[in-house]
Structure 1
Amino acid sequence: MEWPVAPFQARYELYGVGLPLGEAFMALDYPEPNHYAMRFEVRPNRLVGLLTSNQVQEQASGEIHNGQVQSTQYAQQADTGGETRDIQLRFNQSTGQVEARNNAEQATLPLSPGVTDPLSLHLTVMWDLERDQLPEQYTLIDGTQIRTYQIRNEGEEVLKTALGELHTVRIRQAQSGGSRITTFWFATDLQYLPVRITRQKKGREDLRLE
């Protein structure tokens, strides 16, 4: 079986405004041919756990069909102290609809080609980079909202990491007119695995995974 991206497990240190918050894990597997499963989990360190839960769990599954990543299900449970989110997404490719729920809010959204969920987006970008087919934008479902993000390739950069020096491609993701910018560093020798992720709000970094 040929995978768009080989199965992996990755562990990250998590920082908030420069302070260590805990660790995060991301994994990709293929439970059966042409079907993928992904998970992402944030575990706060003991000190942070005493102050606030800051726990996040995400699961996504879908199919590889005609050279595309097609989401079928996505779930997120998040408790970040001030906000609790319970998100469920079901992608129905045959009807062209997404059944979305964010806590008590529900919506039926149109499913256009290429629309994905926040976790499957990682697999999509890694595969697009591997094929040198990075588009100018991606569209995903965030809760019960459809959001389109502009993508910019900011070039290559060598990062010093716990694994040594890694050659990476730096990709910037932002909404038009939005105040949040997310930057990803994808390691070219690790099938474009994201080895650093930072988020900025109004020009200030508030989250980092590496």
Structure 2
Amino acid sequence: MTPRRALGLLAAACLLPALALAAPTTDGLPPFSARYTLAFSGLTIGEAVVRLERDGEHYRMLSTASAKGPFAMMVPDRLREEAEGRFSADGPLPDRYLHERSGGKDEELTRIRFDRQAGKVYVLDDGRQAELELRPQMVDPLGLQLLVMWRLRSGQPLGSVELVDDATPSQYTVSEKGHETVQTGLGALDAVRLDRGQPGDKKVLRLWFSPRLGWLPVQIVQLRKGRETLRMTLLDAHGVPDP
């Protein structure tokens, strides 16, 4: 199943400008679960599920994706991401992250550990090990999604964030494109659209976040050379405000 980090698209490019549209909050995010259709090159082949669990200040986030129905034999790959950490007054602080692809010809395994006492980030990526200096606002893909939602809810600017999904941290620039209506399994929803990349870039990512659903991402589209390669659209959600 391609692209390699299909689940991470729920998070990896969610760096946004400040949108001061919510009352400040420091209690983190409430638990939720969301289900998305998963389509490649315009063909819907399966589903992705994202779930956030809370135990006080500690959180656990789980994201899975796989093909369904007749496509399950053609695309047997299963994708799974898991992250743990805690909420602070400045947002989520990740502790551990796992990315796993299994069931198909190409298997992948990435483990990341954030050691705040030692000031290090330890990365194991398909057997290759790396040790990074831990810097402020370093997050994993799922922690990044939580940080974006947390900042939107609290009306605070996101600032500079480094995404760690392998041994080479990345930074992104995202531009706000205003409000648009997105057709979802919950009906038509008003959402703020954000783009990573500019027209003409080899790879552009578009994301839509719904204010009514507590800034849950309701659609994600990836374009390569101007052509859509991936689309994830919300089917249903629990633990968020009713649309």
TM-score, reference length from structure 1: 0.91
Q: Which residue of 2 aligns with 1:166?
A: 189
Shift of residue 136, structure 1, vs aligned partner: 5.8
> Counterpart of 1:133 in structure 2: which amino acid?
Q
- In structure 1, the residue matched to 2:78 is 55
Equivalent in the alignment of 2:87: 64
Hey, what does 1:23 align to over in structure 2? 47
Aligned counterpart, 2:150? 127
Q: Which amino acid counterpart does residue 186 of structure 1 have in structure 2?
A: F
- In the other structure, the counterpart of 1:198 is 221
| Unpaired stretches in structure 2, ≥5 consecutive residues | 1-25, 234-243
Q: Distance in 2 between matches of 1:5 and 1:86?
A: 28
Q: State yes or no: 1:8 paired with 2:39.
A: no
Q: Alpha carbon RMSD of aligned pairs, Å?
A: 2.2
Distance 1:58 1:197 in 2: 17
State the Cα deviation string for residues 168-197 of structure 1 (Å, max 9, x = none): 11122349x973222111110010000101
Structure 1 stretches of 4+ moved >6 Å: none
Task: Tell whether 2:109 aligns with 1:110.
Answer: no
What TM-score results when the alignment is normalised by the length of structure 2?
A: 0.79
User: Given the alignment of the two structures, is residue 143 of structure 1 paired with residue 143 of structure 2, yes or no?
Assistant: no
Q: Is the 8 A contact 1:15 1:209 kept in 2?
A: yes
SS of corresponding position for 1:123: helix
Higher relative contact order (CA 8 A, sep 6+): 2
**Closer, same or farther in 2 for the Cα pair 1:173/1:164, shift >3 Å?**
same
For residue 148 of structure 2, give the secondary structure of its aligned residue in structure 1: helix
Change (3 A) 1:80 1:122: farther
Cα shift at 1:96: 1.6
Distance in 2 (CA, whole Å) between partners of 1:53 and 1:137 is 37
The residue type equivalent to 2:43 in the other structure is L
Asked if the contact 1:136/1:150 (under 8 Å) is kept, the reply is: no
Preserved CA contact (<8 Å) 2:29 2:150: yes
In structure 2, the CA distance between the partners of 1:118 and 1:80, relative to structure 1 (3 Å rule), is: farther
Read off the aligned partner of 2:145 and give its amino acid letter: H
**1:154 and 2:162 matched:** no
C-alpha separation in 2, matches of 1:181 and 1:27: 26
AA in 2 matched with 1:12: Y
The residue type paired with residue 188 of structure 1 is P
The amino acid across from 1:108 in the alignment is E
Counterpart Cα distance in 1 of 2:97 and 2:201: 24
1:111-145, Cα deviation, whole Å (9 max, x unpaired): 11111001111111111112222436531112222
The letter for the 2-side match of 1:70 is L
Of the candidates 60, 67, 75, which is equivalent to residue 44 of structure 1? 67
SS of equivalent to 2:73:
helix
- 5+ unaligned residues in a row in structure 1: which ranges? none
CA distance in 1, matches of 2:139, 2:163: 5
Partner of 2:10: none
AA in 2 matched with 1:33 = G
Does structure 1 retain, via aligned residues, the 8 Å contact 2:137–2:160?
Answer: no
Aligned length: 208
Percent of paired sites with the same residue: 31
- The structure in which a higher percent of residues are strand is 1
State the alpha-carbon separation in 1 of the partners of residues 64 and 221 from structure 2. 17
